[in-house]
Structure 1
Amino acid sequence: MTNTPLRLTQVFAVLSAGLVAATALLHFVAPSLVNPTVWIRAVGVLVLSLLYLRWAARLRGGSRRVYRRLLWVSVAGSLGIAALALLPGTPYPAWVRVEQAVQGVILLALAWVLTRPAVRAHLEPAR
């Protein structure tokens, strides 16, 4: 099976950690660019990225259940991030929107990779 789902979730996790680090740095350097909502988003996305990593690692074992879970969260997550990044009136500054848009693209790439025959062929048989 391809390592691409795991690598994409690793990139997602690194970006999530970068969001937390940038939030912490800006909290001290430019506090007007950070609000409590940004902190909640940054930490929440980091926690989710760790779950994605775990699921992607378990996908290598061929778990159909994990496959469906990862596919679902990659599609739903990218839609949620698109709403966050594109809709006006969200409480997030532009720098968070840009970072989240990049993560949304990664989740879309993950959804696309998960639908490839090489990944699906590796899954355990359906019951």
Structure 2
Amino acid sequence: MTNTPLRLLQLFTALSAALLAATSLLAVLDPATVNGVVWIRAGGILALSFLSLRWAAQLRQGNRGAYRRLLWVSIAGTLGIAALALLPDSPFPLWFRIEQSIQGLVLLTLALTLLRPSLRATLQPTR
């Protein structure tokens, strides 16, 4: 099994932690740039990143359920972040949308990695 999904999710988690740290710092330095939805999204993404790391560990063991969860998260996350970053009436500030775009690229790369036939071939057969 390739380590690529795990490494991508480690990067995603590091970016998520940095996002929450930046949100905390900006809340002190420039409170006008941080609103409630920024806090909720930043915290939620970090929590999801920790769950995804767990699923990546299960994927390394060939767990098909973990594969499905990660594929769903990577595709839905990519689409959700694209909508968040591109919608003109988004409640998120520009700095947040830029960071989210970077995370979206990581999730897109994860989705493409998970869709490789060679990776799917390593999964345990369903019962």
CA RMSD of aligned residues (A): 0.8
Work out the CA distance in 1 between the residues paired with 2:72 and 2:28.
Answer: 37
Q: Any gaps of 5 or more consecutive residues in structure 2?
A: none
Which secondary structure state, in structure 1, belongs to the residue aligned with residue 2 of structure 2?
coil
The within-5 A match list for 1:40-79 is 40-79=40-79
Work out whether residues 62 and 123 of structure 1, in 8 Å CA contact, stay in contact via their aligned partners in 2.
Answer: yes
Work out the CA distance in 2 between the residues paired with 1:38 and 1:126.
Answer: 40
Find the counterpart in structure 1 of residue 121 from structure 2: 121
TM-score with structure 1 setting the length: 0.97
Give the drift of 1:90: 1.0
Give the drift of 1:119: 1.2
Find the counterpart in structure 1 of residue 109 from structure 2: 109
Work out the CA distance in 1 between the residues paired with 2:98 and 2:119.
Answer: 30
Corresponding letter in the other structure for 2:11 = V
Give the drift of 1:63: 0.7
Corresponding letter in the other structure for 1:60 = R
Q: Any gaps of 5 or more consecutive residues in structure 1?
A: none
Work out the CA distance in 2 between the residues paired with 1:64 and 1:41.
Answer: 28
Q: 1:83 aligned to 2:83?
A: yes
Give the drift of 1:30: 1.1
Corresponding letter in the other structure for 1:64 = R
Work out the CA distance in 2 between the residues paired with 1:57 and 1:114.
Answer: 14
Work out the CA distance in 1 between the residues paired with 2:107 and 2:89.
Answer: 23
Find the counterpart in structure 2 of residue 22 from structure 1: 22
Work out the CA distance in 2 between the residues paired with 1:108 and 1:94.
Answer: 21
Runs of 4+ deviating beyond 6 Å = none
Count of paired positions = 127
Q: Give the fraction of aligned pairs with identical amino acids, expressed as a percent.
A: 64
